[in-house]
């Protein structure tokens, strides 16, 4: 599966809007949208780490949980998970195990780390999502980064 970035701009902007919404609610600024093969948004989720006190409540894992409990598993390989930011290693693995066929992201993880800075009390696991899914035996297409400036804006002054 392949896809130009222009095709993904609208759902990426929606994911960024969801990230802003998560931030307004006091959560980390991340959002994700699941898109069907026809380009229609099927499901969406935002980060709920602060709300739930669950460190796995990333937008992508929340979306994977929703997708795998509401959609037929056989439909997932034809879907695309569009995220406001490059999925972390945990989220990329969840996307892989769910059988979702494509990941599209806006802000690359290395730019997020530049914005956020290094916090010794909140260490990072730097492992690009391409590397995570490439270690698997089934193909997952990865498209991104895109709309970096728009995606970065929601993170400005959040991580200070």
Q: Which domains are seen in the chain, by residue range? A: 6-155 (3.40.140.10)
Q: Is the pLDDT of residue 3 over 70?
A: no
Active-site annotation, residues:
60
| 18-47: average pLDDT | 97
Task: Please report the pLDDT score of residue 1 as a whole number.
Answer: 37
Q: Is the pLDDT of residue 153 over 60?
A: yes
pTM for this one? 0.93
Distance in angstroms between the alpha carbons of the first and the last residue of the chain: 38
Q: Is the pLDDT of residue 63 over 90?
A: yes
pLDDT category of residue 123 using cuts at 50, 70 and 90: low
- For the beta carbon of residue 114, count every other beta carbon within 10 angstroms: 12
DSSP symbols for the chain = ----SGGGHHHHHHHHHHHHHHHHTTS-S-EEEEE-TTS-EEEEEE--HHHHT-TT--HHHHHHHHHHHHS-GGGGGG-EEEEEE---HHHHHHHHHHT--EEEEEE-HHHHHHHH---TTS------HHHHHHTSSS--EEE---SHHHHHHTTTTT--
- Do 4 and 11 meet the contact criterion of CB atoms below 8 Å apart? no
């Amino acid at each position: 599966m392949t896809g130009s970035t222009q095709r993904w701009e609208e759902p990426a902007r929606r994911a960024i809007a969801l990230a802003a919404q998560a931030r307004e609610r006091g959560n980390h600024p991340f959002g994700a949208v699941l898109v069907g093969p026809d380009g229609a948004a099927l499901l969406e989720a935002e980060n709920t780490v602060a709300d739930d006190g669950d460190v796995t409540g990333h937008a992508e894992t929340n979306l994977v949980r929703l997708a795998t409990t509401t959609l037929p598993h056989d439909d997932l390989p034809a879907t695309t998970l569009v995220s406001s930011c490059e999925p972390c290693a945990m989220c990329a693995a969840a996307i892989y195990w769910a059988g979702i066929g494509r990941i599209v992201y806006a802000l690359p993880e290395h730019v997020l780390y530049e914005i956020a800075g290094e916090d010794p009390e909140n260490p990072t696991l730097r492992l690009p999502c391409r590397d995570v899914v490439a270690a698997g035996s089934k193909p997952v297409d990865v498209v991104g980064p895109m709309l970096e400036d728009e995606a970065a804006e929601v993170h400005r002054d959040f991580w200070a």
